[in-house]
Amino acid sequence: MNILLLGSGGREHALAWKLAQSPQCDKLWASPGNPGMEECATCVALDSSDHAAVVKFCEENSIGLVVIGPEGPLVEGLADALAEAGVLSFGPSRAAAQLEGSKGFTKDLCERAKIPTARFERCTSLEAAWGALKKFDAPFVLKADGLAAGKGVVIAETREEAQHALSEMFDGRFGSAGSEVVIEEFLTGEEASFFALTDGETIVPLASAQDHKRVGDGDEGPNTGGMGAYSPAPVLTDTLRKQAMREIIEPTVRTMREEGMPYSGVLYAGLMLTKHGPQLIEYNVRFGDPECQVLMMRLESDLVELMLACAERRLSEIEAPRMSEDFALTVVMAAEGYPGTPKKGGAIDLGSAEDNGAKIFHAGTKHEDGRLVANGGRVLNVTAKGATATQAQTAAYEAVDAVEFPDGFCRRDIGQREVRRERHG
Ligand code: AMP
Ligand code: GLY
């Protein structure tokens, strides 16, 4: 089968690497792809917002499956356009993608389906938001309703700070994503991510993971798209995972189906493990980046088969996904300046970094005059496995140290929380 994968980040390189390993994959196309993906895919420039162009490409190249990596095209309804043209795709419809595309939509769904989540108010004007603020105590959690590339959440320590942030949000700091704002109660606990696959009816758990959002060691500095991740996240115990499936994932998938918006694809739940059990922080309708890199490193099943079964609504007929018992850990190497203005063009030499079983997934790289150079904020994802988090961490940093990227930096403490737990029990 010919497969088209859309996207250009480390997440998509990891998906491409795994898709290409499937005996069912004849030819893999990636659009726009990146230099790392050239090892297993043919890169082609398509505009994913031009649905007719994507459909035409699929028809001309006998594409049997389209894998939509990022949330943007899903929220814009690319899966619907492909379905209309009779092309199978992995990823939810426009209606189902509202689970990520609108925080207010998801909060309302939680209310209807009695899913544990932070108490909230939806506000469509600054006046209403200032009024709603009175119903909450510090710290205040303020969220732009729409897609904001992971940067639409403000946690304000004081009421004045919250009022100021709300003014900015309604003033267009997040563009149209901020024309509606959700204010919610602050939850305390440890965060974990949980990934499940579903065809709209059957749900199969895939894995847990934890990421590191802040740019600096010790979780200091501004938020980023993610500076590293590891999987599994043992803090999400079997008991908690079952509880999250029963109280959060299953009622979500059931309600979406019952309300005529069946969800298919990967459902990525951001959970807060509170003393009252797991609560939903947010949903994403695609794999996490960089969480996908560690998931793919652990996945032993045929990814094409899993994705096809989601798209063809026959997940109940196939074997559940098998994940390695090992830990996988990925360290993001970013360009100096990230998450502000990253320095582009810095030379990269991967040297022998992959020699001991590590895998380097490219994110923001490009070829320039025959050399590999940085071309974005997050540049490389250095990923390794080990029997313990400690071993995976050691292997990943050995590979990091073998990479020459003078204009790059990384956190030195990815996975530290788990490593500490392994050391001290
Ligand atoms: P989100 O984009 O909704 O995942 O929010 C980004 C980050 O803000 C989350 O990963 C949490 O660290 C934090 N956050 C979001 N909502 C809450 C909440 N209700 N209570 C505490 N922290 C939150
Ligand atoms: N790493 C967080 C995300 O992909 O949303």
pLDDT digits (tens, 9 = 90+) for 299-325: 999 999 999 999 999 999 999 999 999
The stretches in the chain having pLDDT less than 70 are: 150, 176-178
pLDDT (0 to 100) of residue 40: 97
The reported pLDDT for the residue numbered 178 is 61
Distance 402 CA to ligand 2 centre (A): 26
Total Cβ atoms within 10 A of residue 23: 8
Rounded to the nearest 10 degrees, the angle between the axes of helix 103-113 and helix 250-258 is 100
Atom of ligand 2 nearest to the CA of 288: 4
**Roughly what angle, to the nearest 10 degrees, separates helices 416-424 and 389-401?**
140
pLDDT, residue 150, reads 64
The predicted pLDDT at position 177 comes to 63
Shortest-distance atom of ligand 1 to CA 118: 19
Q: Facing residues of 269 across strands?
A: 194, 283
**Of the candidates 106, 107, 101, the residue with the CA atom closest to the CA atom of residue 146:** 101
The encoded tokens of residue 407 equal 């204009």
Q: Are the beta carbons of 125 and 180 closer than 8 angstroms?
A: no
Show the tokens assigned to 47: 């505009």
274 Cβ closer than 6 Å to some ligand 1 atom: no
State residue 319's pLDDT score: 96
